[in-house]
Structure 1
């Protein structure tokens, strides 16, 4: 998940201020997604995105608890929801750029953005949430409702234990761009400094460094973790050490997801989609030339999001 850069990532521009709740009517269907396509058949996805009848916003992140409960966040306070049938625009009452989204359940979802903006969804609607932050918020992840991490611009991390928010001590960095972990006491964070942090349930420490700027971290388990970033940078952690991987691209990578060690996708600048099937990474045909900022999947379904209203859905193949 790009989860979540500001000036570091191209085209991520914050602006606006908190507005009064909008009286706009929620659209019944705002986005038409093309029929699912198997990415293993390369020529099949070489088409231009459709013209969406909904807002052509810059979408920054996607998260879902299931294929029937998916959220996308982006510029101008935009939050979209998919119930497995259609996409609707949800009322947020703000026009601030939202950068990341995460939830522990379908009725406990958080969206974060610039100037400390934090929204909470209880299954009925989005409401503003006050947290100790006025800076831009860059990443959110948790292992449970009572173990939530939020990164603030300026490389600081907040932790929520279900009752209160507290600042966490960690090595000084320029900016933390993403957080992910396989468990509550095994959490990773990546930064614009090219540093990887690790949290063992007690403290954050630096475990790897001297890489180009890193934008996203994600994994299948504690023994298979990936970090991606500037210039096609890709790293893999096997539970013991980090190793560089040839991603076969020089384009910046903003998102990564897979459903097995032999079926992983990475997305990034100018519509780049790379796929790994157990041997080497291979570039997939473009579906858009807009930046792809994030990717989410479940079973054989993946969805990529990005610039100018880009939301594309595919089947992963095998």
Structure 2
């Protein structure tokens, strides 16, 4: 049943900074506040983005019904323009995630249309994209403390010497995201009946949610500021917060969440993903406990990324990228 649930979802997707010494002082990481929407490739839903001050990549695709349409795409921003880095795949696929250790070591994961157990893992070595296919259903990829982690339908993996090594075996739920700090890891996921948040303390795994508490969130995202301040959210439209002692509902009643990102430890951004209409990008001020709408759109958003090097980027249907750059 859990494979059927995620398959349906996949089809629709598919340091402190010093003040600058000018008359108008601002933080070197302050955002412009202007959200710009650009359509890159109309037929390709975009699912995730990763980058730093030196490179920026986006991925997408769709498991479309037309067997002649191979929409799997990797985009790269070059000289201010988005160009197709790779789209010559020989199968229908959707790329669900991308993350890098550096601009010369980047990984992307996705699913191929040919069967339920058909995943794809790509690695960019600075020159070319290498491709590995297997029977693992990937959901997301993250780099934490220089280590590449991949979440899947059956657990959590990390990459060691170009090999996938399973470090958590999930028999009961789909693992959808991972976040970590120092030697600790946190994962989220769900099945048809309940949500899961698991913690690895450096030695063993333990459950963080009580059996009958905070269910129905369909958790897809987890990220924190410290091990005592962590946030999780998903298609249930709620944002949960961990304060070092317990998880509680911080925000409720949103549309399904398609993207979540903490920016500079003082605010986080949420992008919603209801099909076609009424979607928004929100900014939440952590100190003021204030949620505001910063952008509205008639497309669903499938990914959100931000860093102090590039600003905030959201991706969605029709090859759309919405961004708010840092002031330069």
Equivalent-residue separation in structure 1 for 2:187 and 2:129 (angstroms): 27
Cα contact 1:232–1:252 (8 A) shared by 2: yes
Q: Quick one: structure 1 residues 53 and 251, their matched pair in 2 at CA, closer, same or farther if it must change by over 3 Å?
A: closer
CA offsets, 1:174-208, max 9 Å, x none?
A: 2111112123x211111124111122333333222
Q: CA deviation at 1:58?
A: 1.1
Any stretches of 5+ residues in structure 1 without a counterpart? 15-35
Aligned ranges 1:108-257 → 2 under 5 Å: 108-114=105-111, 115-129=118-132, 133-144=134-145, 147-153=147-153, 155-162=154-161, 164-183=163-182, 185-192=183-190, 193-209=194-210, 210=213, 211=215, 212-247=217-252, 249-257=253-261
Equivalent-residue separation in structure 2 for 1:286 and 1:142 (angstroms): 28
Secondary structure class of the residue paired with 1:275: strand
Q: CA deviation at 1:109?
A: 0.7
Equivalent-residue separation in structure 1 for 2:78 and 2:200 (angstroms): 34
Equivalent-residue separation in structure 1 for 2:323 and 2:203 (angstroms): 39
- 1:72 maps to which of 52, 58, 65: 58
Q: Quick one: structure 1 residues 119 and 195, their matched pair in 2 at CA, closer, same or farther if it must change by over 3 Å?
A: same
Cα contact 1:252–1:269 (8 A) shared by 2: yes
- 1:274 maps to which of 269, 282, 285: 282
- 1:81 maps to which of 76, 94, 102: 76
Secondary structure class of the residue paired with 1:308: helix
- Detail structure 1 runs of 4+ shifted over 6 Å in the superposition: none
Equivalent-residue separation in structure 2 for 1:148 and 1:217 (angstroms): 16
After TM superposition, the score normalised by the length of structure 1 is: 0.77
Cα contact 1:119–1:129 (8 A) shared by 2: yes
Secondary structure class of the residue paired with 2:236: helix
> What is the root-mean-square deviation in Å for CA atoms of aligned residues?
2.8
Q: Quick one: structure 1 residues 129 and 202, their matched pair in 2 at CA, closer, same or farther if it must change by over 3 Å?
A: farther
Query: Which has a greater percent of strand?
Result: 2
After TM superposition, the score normalised by the length of structure 2 is: 0.75
Q: Quick one: structure 1 residues 290 and 53, their matched pair in 2 at CA, closer, same or farther if it must change by over 3 Å?
A: closer
Q: CA deviation at 1:143?
A: 2.4
Cα contact 1:216–1:227 (8 A) shared by 2: yes
Equivalent-residue separation in structure 1 for 2:166 and 2:284 (angstroms): 38
Greater C-alpha Rg? 2
- 2:320 maps to which of 299, 304, 310: 310
Q: Quick one: structure 1 residues 161 and 240, their matched pair in 2 at CA, closer, same or farther if it must change by over 3 Å?
A: farther
Partner of residue 265, structure 1: 269
Q: Quick one: structure 1 residues 285 and 141, their matched pair in 2 at CA, closer, same or farther if it must change by over 3 Å?
A: closer
Secondary structure class of the residue paired with 1:97: strand
Q: CA deviation at 1:10?
A: 7.1
Partner of residue 32, structure 1: none
Any stretches of 5+ residues in structure 2 without a counterpart? 15-29, 62-70, 112-117
Q: CA deviation at 1:163?
A: 5.2
Partner of residue 288, structure 1: 297
Equivalent-residue separation in structure 2 for 1:245 and 1:239 (angstroms): 14
Q: CA deviation at 1:111?
A: 0.4
Q: Quick one: structure 1 residues 231 and 174, their matched pair in 2 at CA, closer, same or farther if it must change by over 3 Å?
A: same
Q: Quick one: structure 1 residues 84 and 279, their matched pair in 2 at CA, closer, same or farther if it must change by over 3 Å?
A: farther
Total equivalences in the alignment? 278
